[in-house]
Structure 1
């Protein structure tokens, strides 16, 4: 992730989850990789899975809230642009 090799990270974390599907950190890091690849829906899904496994995982909650706000903001802008036409 530090080298911004997100596609490689997505593959590696996905493989690790097959071995250990109950590790919230793996879902969190997979979410970061998806977010880095601009795959926002997938990132949101991973952060939600992280929180299902560990409700106290504050970094996942913070990232999820940020992405949700960004998605809502984007949806609002699309609506405004649609009204202007």
Structure 2
């Protein structure tokens, strides 16, 4: 427990000094390493702190929110994943992969109708997106 607390203090300081020696990529890498030992509540808190960093809201950092979304979705934190995908979409609303991932999070949350709509949007942006085509066919069977 004490080592996690020490890591937490270190991690919080690194976030607060964003732009002073720590790149966004370094902070994301630290977050991925750091959250492995935390419970769900503390993971949510750390992702929230990082996702509110203003420097992230630049187009070249949209992948940060996408990666957070993937990690959160894989940990069953669907609402938080959805929020991160939506932040990424607000940065780049023409990225089909973000809509696809958003659809996956809605599906895993059990909202097949919204999942279908998001994956369909991914296909509108990129009609030859094979994974999205296959996933949309799967979702059609769930929304009847």
Q: TM-score range by the shorter chain?
A: 0.7 to 0.9
Instruction: Indicate the structure (1 or 2) with the bigger Cα radius of gyration.
Output: 2
Equivalent in the alignment of 1:2: 74
Alpha-carbon displacement from aligned partner over 1:20-60 (angstroms, at most 9, x marks no partner): 00000000000000001111111000010000011111111
Q: CA RMSD in A?
A: 0.9
Where does 1:2-41 land on structure 2 (aligned, <5 Å)?
2-41=74-113
Would the aligned equivalents of 2:102 and 2:118 in 1 still touch at CA under 8 Å? yes
- The secondary structure found in structure 1 opposite 2:128 is coil
TM-score, with normalisation over the residues of structure 2? Answer: 0.48
Equivalence for 1:47: 119
Q: Which residue of 1 aligns with 2:137?
A: 65
Unaligned runs of 5+ in 2: 1-72
CA separation in 2, counterparts of 1:11 and 1:34? 11
Calculate the TM-score normalised by the size of structure 1.
Answer: 0.80
